[in-house]
Amino acid sequence: MVKFLETFYVLTLKVSGSNYVTSNTHFVEIAELNLILNEMMENEDGNLKEMAKSMKEKFKKYWGEPHKMNKMIFISSVLDPRNKLDYVPFAIVDMLGKEVGDKLCLEVKKYMNKLFDYYVEKCPKSSLHVPSLPTSSDNSSRISSVSGSCNFVNRGRMRTKQQFEKHKEVSGSLGSKSELERYLAEDIEPDSDSFDILMWWKVNEPRFPILAEMVRDVLAIPISSVASECAFSTGGRVLDPFRSSLTPKLVQSLICVQDWLRSEPFPINIEEDLEYLEQLELDFACIGTESSIIDI
Whether residue 248 is found in the same domain as residue 291? yes
Confidence (pLDDT) at 96: 85
Confidence (pLDDT) at 166: 65
Whether residue 16 is found in the same domain as residue 133? no
Alpha-carbon torsion (185, 187, 192, 196), positive or negative: negative
Would you say how long the chain is, in residues? 296
Confidence (pLDDT) at 175: 47
Residue by residue, DSSP assigns 96-155 as H-HHHHHHHHHHHHHHHHHHHHHHHHHS-GGGGPPPPPP-HHHHHHHHHHS-SHHHHHHH
Confidence (pLDDT) at 81: 92
Whether residue 26 is found in the same domain as residue 73? yes
Rounded to whole angstroms, the Cα distance separating 296 from 153 reads: 101
Is 92:104 a contact under the CB 8 Å cutoff? Answer: yes
Rounded to whole angstroms, the Cα distance separating 35 from 194 reads: 24
pLDDT of the chain, 296 residues: tens digit per residue: 788 888 888 888 877 777 778 888 888 888 888 888 888 888 888 888 888 888 888 888 888 777 778 888 889 989 999 988 888 888 888 888 888 888 888 999 999 999 999 998 887 654 444 334 344 444 444 434 444 444 444 544 566 656 666 665 555 544 457 888 999 998 888 888 788 999 999 999 999 999 999 999 998 887 776 655 565 666 777 777 777 788 888 888 888 887 787 765 655 555 556 677 677 777 766 665 555 555 55
Rounded to whole angstroms, the Cα distance separating 221 from 223 reads: 6
Whether residue 214 is found in the same domain as residue 230? no
The residues, ordered by sequence, that sit 6+ positions from 120 with a Cβ below 8 Å of its Cβ are: 171, 172, 178, 210
Closest to 72 (Cα-Cα) out of 118, 26, 103 = 26
Rounded to whole angstroms, the Cα distance separating 66 from 80 reads: 21
Is 52:67 a contact under the CB 8 Å cutoff? Answer: no
Whether residue 156 is found in the same domain as residue 180? no
Domains: count for the chain: 3
Note the pTM of the prediction, 2 decimals. Answer: 0.59
Whether residue 193 is found in the same domain as residue 236? no
Whether residue 118 is found in the same domain as residue 132? no
Measured between its terminal Cα atoms, the distance across the chain in Å is: 66
Query: Domain of 16?
Result: 2-123+172-218
Rounded to whole angstroms, the Cα distance separating 223 from 226 reads: 9
Whether residue 6 is found in the same domain as residue 65? yes
Whether residue 54 is found in the same domain as residue 140? no
Is 93:192 a contact under the CB 8 Å cutoff? Answer: no
Whether residue 163 is found in the same domain as residue 178? no
Confidence (pLDDT) at 126: 43
Of 152, 184, 218, which residue sits at a domain end?
218
Whether residue 151 is found in the same domain as residue 183? no
Rg over CA atoms, the chain:
30
Whether residue 239 is found in the same domain as residue 203? no
